[in-house]
Structure formats: structure tokens, C-alpha cells
Amino acid sequence: MSKVRVNLANPQELLEIPGLDPQQANAIIRFRVEHGPILDATQLGRVLGGITLSEAVRDRLDFDPAAGTAPEAPGS
């Protein structure tokens, strides 16, 4: 099972996160545009409206910005 690279994924790729809907994917994109990379699952939960992500969902996520950040991120 591949991980979703939260800080690099496009909206379609973000929909591979279990339970994520298109509005939430767009919220992630908006956050990245305005604030830069999402640091961890806790911050992602806040971006998605204060939800707590299950361990199964957390296991599917990669927050590593080492390969660069999304093109729309500030400073890129």
C-alpha cells in the first residue's frame, strides 16, 4: 500500500486518503497555498475541521517535505 504524500499530492491523489472527500482535499490545497507544508497528522486533522485521524489513516500519510514542497507553497 503506497503512502499519500500530503505536501506534494494533487487533489486527486489526496482522495486516496481513506475517508477524504473533495472538499477536504481542497482544504488541504488551500492550507498549503496559504501556510506551506502540513507538518503532521495532528495539524492535518485541524486543517480538516478538527477531526482526529485514525491510526489506519495516519499509516497512509507521508508528511516528509524533503523532496520539496508543492509548487503552490510559499517560497517555492
> Is 47 contained in some domain?
yes
Strand partners, 5: 62
User: What contacts 59, CB < 8 A, 6 or more positions away?
Assistant: none
Residue 73 lies in a domain: no
Domain residues for the domain of 35 are: 4-62
pLDDT band at 76 (very low <50, low <70, confident <90, very high): very low
**4 contacts 16 by C-beta, under 8 angstroms:** yes
Total domains in the chain come to: 1
Q: Identify which of 1, 6, 5 has the alpha carbon closest to the alpha carbon of residue 32.
A: 6
Kindly state whether residue 69 falls inside one of the protein's structural domains. Answer: no
Instruction: Kindly state whether residue 72 falls inside one of the protein's structural domains.
Output: no
- Domain membership of residue 56 (yes or no) is yes
Tens of pLDDT, residue by residue over 17-70, are 999 999 999 999 999 999 999 999 999 999 999 999 999 999 999 999 755 444
23 found inside a domain: yes
The pTM of the full predicted model, rounded to 2 decimals, is 0.82
- Name the pairing type of β-strands 4-5 and 61-62: parallel
